[in-house]
């Protein structure tokens, strides 16, 4: 496999400095959706509130005829139906997933793609069978390098027609699941029914949905989603670095109540219990700081528990709100790395974890 050729006319685009959101971006925003931030209240994101990013169409899959193939550099290729998959040893794992493009629409200038603000996140309890067990049964050959997972979603991106595919190194498979339940229910169509990959700790693009084939390669996979789409690139010409694990992020339930059109918050003066969640794919969130004065000063929030090492943990802080306008902020620290207050920027708008800002009016 070689790196796909990208037609220049269909390369990704950066919006002009004052350009409004385009119809193309709106079409994606109307189909896909974030998690309304008030849903940070729930340990497990309720059905329909978890973020959804579908690259092409949601495939209409008949689970009775669906099959999962395991092939490539294995001793014994496998083919499993859903019953066979469900008969395998199963694991429950609570995982926070976040889209690699979360925060993209807050960037200046704005990379043109799915225009997320802060809300492309969700946490679910996934039930499935460990991928390493499946591969052990198939018998991984000694020259195995990458595992390529193929979904049933088909479309084109920047001129390249494709089934959605992602490669993952055989050294990165710890805790990876082939999942068939979400919060104790069969996967809903938009979350990959009847089965999908869950790659804990990684941005969502790794967790291939509508999984149909797992192919072991003796070389690095160089398909579109690894080599072109999910890259951290300072400029359009560079090849950049691959998007991998989730950077630290904290988000807060916006306090008070909103105005319909601007979402501006009105908060009553007095004690306000700020509450949120924080997560990181490279390690444990050890600190959440909150600013109630637009980043001038920061206070440590109390940290709560997490559903697993891959799930967000809660945090809270009591704020003595006094009348006037201000901006609330939150930032997480994990493994010594703290979320930036100023924007990071890259040409595709990937892995931006700039601290959340919530303008509020206290009355």
The site for a second copy (CB under 8 A) is made up of 10, 12, 19-34, 36, 38-39, 41-42, 46-50, 52, 54-58, 60, 105, 112-113, 115-117, 119, 154-158, 161, 188-191, 254, 257-263, 266
3-state secondary structure of 44: coil
Q: Which is nearer to a second copy, 141 or 269 (CB)?
A: 269
Nearer to a second copy, 157 or 175 (CB): 157
What's the closest the beta carbon of residue 223 comes to a second copy, in angstroms? 15
Q: How far is the CB of 21 from a second copy (least distance, A)?
A: 4
Least separation, in Å, of the C-beta of 134 and a second copy? Answer: 27
Q: Shortest approach of a second copy to residue 235 CB, angstroms?
A: 20
Helix or strand or coil: residue 312? Answer: coil
Q: Tell me which long-range contacts 25-32 makes (C-beta under 8 A, separation of at least 24).
A: 25/105, 25/112, 25/113, 25/114, 25/115, 26/115, 28/113, 28/114, 28/115, 29/114, 29/115, 32/114
Going by the DSSP 8-state scheme, the letter that residue 229 receives in this structure is I
When the beta carbons of 72 and 276 are compared against a second copy, the nearer one is: 276
For a second copy, the closer of residues 129 and 352 by Cβ is: 352
Query: What minimum distance in Å lies between the beta carbon of 30 and a second copy?
Result: 5
> Is the Cβ of residue 230 or residue 298 nearer to a second copy in the bound state?
230
Retrieve residue 292's tokens.
Answer: 């109630």
Query: Judged by CB, which is closer to a second copy: 70, or 121?
Result: 121
* Three-class DSSP category at 315: strand
Q: Please, are residues 32 and 114 in contact by the beta-carbon 8 Å criterion?
A: yes
- Cis peptide bond prior to 276, omega within 30° of 0: no
Of 105 and 350, which CB lies nearer to a second copy in the complex structure?
Answer: 105
Identify the helix (H) or strand (E) that includes residue 332: strand 324-334
Is the separation of the CB atoms in 158 and 12 below 8 Å?
yes
**Shortest distance, CB of residue 22 to a second copy, whole angstroms?**
6
Residue 125 CB partners (closer than 8 Å, separation 6+): 44, 92, 93, 94, 182, 183, 184, 307
Residue 280 dihedral angles phi and psi, to the nearest 5°:
-165, 140
For residue 53, the minimal CB distance to a second copy (Å) is: 10
In the complex with a second copy, the residue whose CB is nearer, 260 or 342, is: 260
DSSP 337: E
Least CB distance to a second copy at residue 32 (A): 7
What Å distances lie between residue 42 and 97, 101, 117, CA to CA?
Answer: 15, 23, 20
Is residue 84 a contact partner of residue 214, using CB atoms and an 8 Å limit? no
Nearest-angstrom CA–CA distance, 335 and 333: 7
């Amino acid at each position: 496999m070689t790196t796909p050729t990208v037609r220049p006319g269909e390369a990704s685009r950066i919006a002009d400095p004052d350009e409004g959101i385009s119809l193309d971006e709106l079409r994606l925003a109307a189909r896909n959706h974030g998690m309304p931030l008030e849903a940070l209240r729930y340990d497990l994101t309720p059905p329909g509130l978890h973020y959804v990013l579908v690259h092409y169409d949601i495939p209409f899959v008949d689970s009775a005829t669906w099959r999962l193939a395991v092939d490539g550099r294995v001793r014994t290729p496998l083919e499993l139906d859903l019953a066979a998959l469900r008969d395998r040893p199963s694991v429950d794992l609570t995982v926070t997933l976040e889209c690699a493009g979360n925060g993209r629409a807050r960037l200046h200038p704005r990379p043109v793609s799915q225009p997320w603000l802060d809300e492309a996140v969700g946490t679910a309890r996934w039930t499935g069978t460990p991928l390493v067990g499946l591969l052990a049964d198939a018998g991984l050959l000694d020259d195995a390098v990458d595992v390529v997972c193929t979904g049933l979603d088909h479309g084109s991106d920047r001129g390249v027609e494709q089934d959605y595919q992602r490669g993952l190194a055989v050294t990165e498979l710890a805790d990876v699941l082939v999942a068939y339940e979400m919060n104790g229910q069969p996967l809903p169509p938009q979350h990959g029914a009847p089965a999908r990959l869950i790659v804990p700790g990684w941005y969502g693009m790794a967790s291939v949905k509508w999984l149909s084939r797992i192919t072991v390669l003796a070389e690095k996979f160089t398909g579109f989603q690894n080599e072109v789409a999910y890259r951290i690139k300072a400029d359009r010409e560079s090849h950049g670095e691959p998007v991998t694990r989730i950077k630290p992020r904290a988000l807060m339930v916006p306090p008070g109540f909103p105005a319909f059109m601007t979402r501006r918050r009105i908060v009553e003066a007095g004690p306000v219990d700020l509450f949120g969640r924080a997560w990181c794919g490279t390690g444990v969130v050890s600190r959440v700081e909150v600013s109630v004065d637009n980043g001038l000063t920061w206070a440590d929030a109390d940290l709560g528990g997490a559903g697993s090492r891959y799930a967000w943990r809660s945090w809270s802080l009591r704020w003595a709100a006094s009348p006037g306008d201000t901006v609330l902020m939150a930032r997480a620290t994990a493994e010594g790395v703290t979320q930036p207050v100023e924007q990071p920027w890259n040409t595709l708008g990937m892995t931006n974890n700039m601290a959340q800002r919530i303008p509020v009016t206290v009355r």
